[in-house]
Amino acid sequence: MNFALILFVLVIVTGLAWIADKLIFQPGRRRAAEAAVAAFDEQQLAIGTAANADGVASARAKLRDDKLRQPWWLEYSASFFPVILAVFLVRSFVVEPFKIPSGSMIPTLHIGDFILVNKFDYGIRLPLLNKKIISIGEPQRGDVMVFRYPKDESMDYIKRVIGVPGDIVAYENKRLTINGKPLPMTQLPDYFDQERIAYFKQYNETIGSVTHRILNDPNVPPFILGASDFPYRSNCTYNSEGVVCKVPPGHYFMMGDNRDDSADSRYWGFVPDKNIIGKAFFIWMNFSDLKRIGMIH
């Protein structure tokens, strides 16, 4: 379901109702109210009733209110317009919420984490078209980024930025090397995955200015099985130890922190700039574990 498209349609429909009410229906109701009140006053004058009598004043006010009242369909549609517009603008240009559906980013992100994604760090983009109109910044190595899955752009994925345009990324024997320099790794105590009821090797890995945790499964071989065809696949060389890729211009190499349980750029290729949604920066809720709330690293 394309929630952005649904929200956009609601903005258009309620916005048209709001404009029509301000320019057409509201002036018409005012004229009708004024005419009704004038006729009421003439009627009361003809029968000699004092205009300031309590009952007359109340009936006069009720008559005016009835004529000014919006029809129910217009009241709901026009009154919701400012709220829907505000949600649309915030979601399109400032911050957007997502829910983590899989374990590919464990231990950084868990299934059920509700996260916030910064929509302007990587530039201002037109809603729906996702075309960048104002350039502010570019993804950096180590960022956790949400993007449209290149194989099916109706799906949103979240991974970590490993390679930026021009980088040579090697993932061999479960070690990352970028432009010929191995990334520093420090072994941590094994990680217990409660979903899979198993222990995995855990490390601190430093990429750029970001130090984050990753998982490796010693039972999974280092070579890549099932890599599909994708644009610029000729930039990648697969071997028995893993894969080496040169990131093409305007694209990014993405990987999950759960290295042996993540379908990522090793399998389906590079992420083009046009598919970028934003930078994940905060976990605002996990109903199973409130301690998860906090910044994303």
Is 104 an annotated catalytic residue? yes
Q: Is 167 exposed, middle or buried (0-12, 13-18, 19+ CB in 10 A)?
A: middle
For residue 1, the tally of other CB atoms under 10 A from its CB is 6
Question: From CA 280, how far away is CA 273, in angstroms rounded?
Answer: 16
**Cα distance from N-terminal residue to C-terminal residue, the chain:** 29
Whether residue 91 contacts residue 8, with contact meaning beta carbons closer than 8 Å, is answered with: no
79 annotated active-site: no
Single out the catalytic residue among 159, 174, 246, 279: 159
Side chain identity at residue 286, one-letter code: N
Of residues 142, 143, 92, the one with CA closest to residue 119: 92
The tokens of 117 are what? 């994604």
Q: Which of 77, 104, 262, 265 is catalytic?
A: 104
Question: Burial letters for 73-107: b for 16+ Cβ neighbours within 10 Å, e otherwise?
Answer: ebeebbebbeebbeebeebbeebbebebebbbbbb
d(CA 123, CA 133): 7
| Catalytic machinery residues | 104, 159
